Amino acid sequence: MLRFAIAALLGALSLSACAQSSAPAPAPAKGTAAAKPAAAPVAPAGPADQKVRAALTTLDPDFKPDYIGAAPFPGFREVVVGGQVLYVSDDGRYLMQAQPFDIQNKQFAASEGLLAYRRKQLEAIPKADRIVFAPPNPKYTISVFTDIECGYCRKLHSEIAELNKQGIAVEYLAFPRMGLGSQDYKDMVSVWCAADRKQALTAAKQGQPVSARSCKNPVTMEYDLGQRLGVNGTPAIFAPDGTQLGGYLPPAQLRAALDKRAAASAGGGR
């Protein structure tokens, strides 16, 4: 099936991120998940989109893409399925998974359609369901999928004051790497259910015991969103334009990366 073909194509995780567990975990208890996130946007299918869809259906009759659109280079469609970004030739013959690099602009390339898809998905999560650490009048706001057990997540959070000084607001979304129903998941539910979520998250990332709590919460919804966006390690940092910046970066480097993305967007480059 197509998902096995995708799995065979997966590359190595960044060394600046904590890998997601591949072992399945029990399903969460009923009544703990928030509402289902918005469905992916559906664009009118052109001839190339239809050929690509038909070709992938030959690999898996149940193929259902989250997004199909023009790739950032000619002759290919960009496809999001199962959280992975694939590139399929417009005639439907060739499939590859790679991170295209724009030599002229000296940066990884992603189409505006893919970035818009990511932005729309992220916008479906209201600020009230995030844990936000923000300075007054931030220059940039990043969405960060985080896990309380992840070493790099803890390192990033230990530098939250410096990130804020750099003009960066950090909006956390839950991504328990050990899966739904795991102890990691239960602890993150407890954090999101705390009266003071910021304090609870900080304490958990400092290795302090997490007091068990239960409430209606967005942890499952945010985890599912992360999977649809291709998150397979934490922290997973998304810039305001939808670009995934990768894993942990020191505050000054993260600010420089955000400045570069903003300049590229202003100049019409991707």
Q: How far apart are CA 236 and CA 224, in angstroms?
A: 14
The residue from 147, 228, 255, 270 that is catalytic is 147
| Three-state DSSP class for residue 186 | helix
CB atoms < 10 A from the CB of 217, how many?
A: 22
Q: How far apart are CA 7 and CA 11, in angstroms?
A: 9
- What radius of gyration do the chain's Cα atoms show? 19
Q: Are the C-beta atoms of 173 and 146 separated by less than 8 Å? A: yes
Pair type for strands 233-234 and 140-146: unpaired
The residue from 53, 90, 153, 187 that is catalytic is 153
Burial track 120-137 (b if 16+ CB lie within 10 A, e otherwise): ebbebbeeebbbebbeee
The residue from 90, 150, 228, 270 that is catalytic is 150
Q: How far apart are CA 31 and CA 46, in angstroms?
A: 41
In what helix (H) or strand (E) does residue 256 lie, and over which residues does it extend?
A: helix 251-266
Q: Are the C-beta atoms of 140 and 169 separated by less than 8 Å? A: yes
**Cα–Cα nearest to 170, from 131, 120, 217:** 131
147 is catalytic: yes
| Three-state DSSP class for residue 149 | coil
Which 8-state DSSP code applies to residue 16? T
193 is catalytic: no
The residue from 118, 154, 177, 255 that is catalytic is 177
18 is catalytic: no
Catalytic annotation, residues: 147, 150, 153, 177
